Amino acid sequence: MCGIVGCIGKNHGREYIINGLKTLDYRGYDSAGIAFLKQDSISIYKDAGSVEHVNSLIPIGEDGDAIIGHTRWATHGKPNKSNSHPHISFDGEFVLVHNGIVERFAEHKASLLKQGVTFNSDTDSEVFVNMIALFYKEEKNVLKAIKKAMETVDGSYAIALIHKGENRLYVLKNVSPLLIGIGEDFNLVASDASPMIEYTNKFIELGDKEYGYIEKSNYKIFNFDGQEVSKKLISKDISLVRHDLNGYPHYMLKEIEEIPDVITRLVNHYYLDEKYNFDDELIKKIKQSDHIIFLGCGTSYHASLVGGRYFEEMLEIPTASYIASEWAFHPMFPGKKPFIVFISQSGETADLIHCLNIVKKYNYDTLLITNTSGSTLERGCKYSLNIQAGVEVSVASTKAYAAQVAMLLLLVAAVKGEAKIADEILRALPIIKSIKDKQNDIKNVANIIKDKQSIFYIGRGYDYYLSLEASLKLKEISYIHSEAIAGGELKHGPIALIENETPVIVFFTDNVTANSMRGNIEEVKSRGARVFVISTKELSKDGDTIIIDQYPNYLSSIIVSSVAFYLAYYTSLSKGYDVDKPRNLAKSVTVE
């Protein structure tokens, strides 16, 4: 879950590296570091803390022929200076930045120690750079040393590597994402396109177990067998990868308010001239399946719960939604002809990649719903659908969640052949926009709950699924203990936690469960809870906190989610936290 950047032949390369690391720090921001290669010398600057802090440690005018940089989310070793990247080999010949996990690293480290290799950190990444250095002493060839290290090490990695005395930047990749940017008399490398998009729109996506090098005006890529491979240049839509605040104080606020535009773009992409624009073979495979299995993590799992209900209610196809990290160790395939749907914002989620490797053994049809093209999961799944949300920088997902749910709904509508659903989504967009006008009411709630130790969300049906996502958002960025409870489950234990002034936030938009939910509200009130009700006009009563215009109930997770996101945002803001970079978290979870 780290971010890496590199460049060679780039004028003002330091500027590219610094700006690139800032662009990628949503992938990790525990520490940062940069290495400059100048002829036969290497200078390294790194420390715990921000990219800006590390930049302040670098002398004015410092630059290099080849430069690599890293922003870290700690997995092995505490976030401190010694564990920060880049890491230098024991002999001082190689310097590496790494995103991923070295499996059995303790075993490899013990073997290297016996061979006289010394270590300066607690990281698994230092094993890799020392292994390459040791193999280089045998092979006298960097590419052969890299290949031998790749044959020895299991795990995930995206690596940029420099070798003292060589005006080259070496790259190697397995599972973790890595892109090369092709420029005029310079070449770039990064974890994704966003740091490079201002300099080039020509990219090479490295495949798993591929390695090679870039030079100022040249590059070569090899497969795991050591054979040179020809790579196709691809381009990226700049509007979907640029990181601009556009006057907003935080990315999270910007991304919440982009939801209507994202949904509009999504519908217009998959619903053209009153016809759904999906692969006919995909639609056929779904119709032929007797069970839909959804796999996701965190927010994507919550979206799958909503999507599962769409498939069951609208198509009468049984579904099962699983947390990927659990399913991977206890895989289940309900039905005789299941269809597997993976949901991943990044397409690089390690737990889902683990699941995909299991599914491949059974040769079942697979679909990925993602926000990122060219990912590991996209290459591995038979079908892929992009949610068209554009880059999401804030660690707490907002617009991607709404788009995932909308994507699942559009897919169901296409299978059903129901044009009305796409029209109803578009007609509901003004309601989402109107929630922006209710921010003062939401801020008032945030100011009341910000100092509470525990908060509870309750709902039924679609509102319960929304409660799960709302609760996750609040705990992610405000660090308040929060729990989502199905309204009917209150009396089966959780109501024991309700005390005087305990905040209870209620999503109340389903007329089928309305009477029961009003009963639940009274139950927690009678125990002294401070209740905040978010309701639709049709179901509202005097005293409800936020009232939203009427819409079809199945759209709740698309529309009312904005209320939940605003509440989490303003609660975190009122506590003085970094909204976009919550502690201990990173955007793309590329380790299990």
Q: Are strands 338-344 and 366-370 parallel, antiparallel or unpaired?
A: parallel
Judge whether 196 and 21 are in contact, CB under 8 Å: no
CA distance 100 to 553: 42
Helix ranges restricted to H, 462-551: 462-478, 514-526
Sort residue 303 into left (φ over 0), alpha (ψ -120 to 50) or beta.
alpha
Residue 454: which of 488, 486, 499, 416 has the closest Cα? Answer: 499
CA distance 498 to 454: 10
Known catalytic residue: 7?
Answer: no
DSSP conformation letters of 28-85: --SEEEEEEEETTEEEEEEEES-HHHHHHHSPTT---SEEEEEEE--SSS-SSTTTSS
Distance of CA 556 to the CA centre of its chain: 23
Judge whether 295 and 327 are in contact, CB under 8 Å: yes
Distance of CA 79 to the CA centre of its chain: 21
Distance of CA 391 to the CA centre of its chain: 10
Known catalytic residue: 287?
Answer: no
Q: What is the CA radius of gyration of the chain?
A: 25
Listed in sequence order, the residues at least 6 apart from 372 whose beta carbon sits closer than 8 Å to its beta carbon are 192, 345, 346, 347, 348, 378, 386
Judge whether 191 and 177 are in contact, CB under 8 Å: yes
CA distance 369 to 304: 10
Largest separation between any pair of C-alpha atoms in the chain:
79
Structure tokens at 149: 């290290």
Among 109, 147, 236, 587, the one annotated catalytic: 587
Q: Are strands 87-88 and 31-38 parallel, antiparallel or unpaired?
A: unpaired
| Helix and strand numbers, DSSP H then E, in the chain | 20, 25
Per DSSP, 138 falls in state H
Residue 213: which of 152, 172, 157 has the closest Cα? Answer: 172
CA distance 407 to 421: 12
CA angle 202, 207, 209 (to 5 degrees): 140
Structure tokens at 111: 């073997």
Among 2, 7, 297, 381, the one annotated catalytic: 2
CA distance 69 to 45: 10
Strand partners, 100: 157
Residue 579: which of 254, 247, 242 has the closest Cα? Answer: 254
CA distance 104 to 94: 22
CA distance 422 to 427: 9
- Catalytically active residues, by annotation: 2, 587
